[in-house]
Structure 1
Amino acid sequence: MNLWLLPRQGNWERCVMTPRKLYVYPFALVMAKPIERLEDRMIRFLESQPDAESLDKKEFSQLSGDKAKADYLLDKRRIVAELKTIKGDPKIRVEDRLKKRFAQPGAPIVFGRVGVSAALRGLSDEGEVVKMMYDLSARAVRRHLQKSDEQILVTKSNLNLSNSVGMTIIMNDREEMIDAIGILHAIKSTFEVVESGYPNVDFVWASIEAHEMKLPGGGSGFPQLIISRSEEHPDRLDFLGRLIAYWAQFNGAKAYLLPHHGDWEVLRPIFENGPPTLDLG
């Protein structure tokens, strides 16, 4: 992946996840919290790219009656892209499930509003409860992957783009309960659990402004994840690396490619007003 436009914070190598390999490239955008909604900015950004084509334009009128079409063609039609924004706070579902767990014999007594970590501390099945919380929070991501897989397939078929790859752009600028780790967990588990694996989604770009994450050299930035399902398309990865750099420039930000060692720690969230709390009273 030729990322000559992006400075690296320390030694870097992509994260490889198994059993179905995912290649994860984590970036951080250093900038002030934008006022304009992320989805609106992303649309303006893509419209400004010289090789981007909106599928809402007249020249694609043959797709106008098809609700399953994707949103954009990128990189001279070599990438079919679908935009998805995460909406809907999963907090109530998580709280209801945790209340049932804490009602069981032997569970700690918890009242009122507490932080997530404090609520789970001391549970014998803490790992299982954390997974449950991620699964509940990840439902929106799974739905988006399923729908975009259908939209990308229909678009490729109707426009005879069999050699193009598909990409889902997942955006989250509001839902703190669905953080970068949760989104990556949802993508990984969806590709592993769903029998078809949604084969038309070759790449995912997750753009997250609901929280920041630490930079190794100090400071913080908003997570940007490029997730690839294989290493078969190095030219597409080069394009996506440049796209991240242009996205940073568009936002008046600096982009950094982050070091990691195949774990999730680099994505640990930082929240502007402290971590989300749960009402377990």
Structure 2
Amino acid sequence: MTILAIDIGGTAIKYGLINEEGTILEKHQMPTEAHLGGPAILAKVCQLVEDYQAKENLRGVALSSAGMVDPIKGEIFYSGPQIPDYAGTQFKRVIEEGYGLACEIENDVNCAGLAESVSGSSQDAPVALCLTIGTGIGGCLTIDQKIFHGGSFSACEVGYIALKDGTFQDLASTTALVADVAKRHQDPVEKWDGKRIFEEAKAGNLICQEAIARLVDYLAQGIATISYVVNPNMVVLGGGIMAQKDYLKEPLTEALQRHLLPSLCERLSLAFAQHENTAGMLGAYYHFKSKHPKE
């Protein structure tokens, strides 16, 4: 039997089959078309379930999704304007009642953190903080390979942390980096992305180098702030620009030494995500398995 894993992001829906041993057997993706709203996304997910149920012996459906998720009720309880009418979408009820399959859903950043904790960079860390750096900044705290949800399933919404110059995600996200570089070059934002910024920085573009240095310092400030509260053994960084680990690791380590007390800093390991584009699907699978251990 296999599990259908579906990772719902703002741009793409990744999906495929994972066997009982945790091996991804196949992986595909389709556009999310987030602008069409929650009901359209639910319809896409239901169509995938229907198609796979017709040809596979499915044990269940494991979902990872953007937005704030109640993993007990199996529904979205908050979503930003990027996905209209998404809050209130009841994936678990609709799939279990409509298709007779067990269904579990978890937040996408929590899934990424869980995947790293179970089989990725932080699998040996009892307390691990996973940050995804992209349009905003998402966070997941795992303790002994279990997600810490907080009192109302909203723990580690770290992007909203207030730093001296603004919120963490307004200062240290890829969006912030691109906006900074475009402004200093007096270019439209559309002319720049993270990949180009790092290419130009490596080629000697001082504006790009300085913008990356600013982002690194703000990132260290945010990590230090979180570390004073939760004291992780390891921080794992994911998201597109974190593929530039060879460029980022040394300056980020130095920045952490400036912002974090030595007694904490020397006991904190810094790592980069291993699972990358499969993190959401794998994390959804691990979450499903924790709820439905094989008999």
Shared fold per TM-score greater than 0.5: no
Greater helix fraction, Structure 1 or Structure 2: 2
TM-score, L = length of structure 1:
0.33
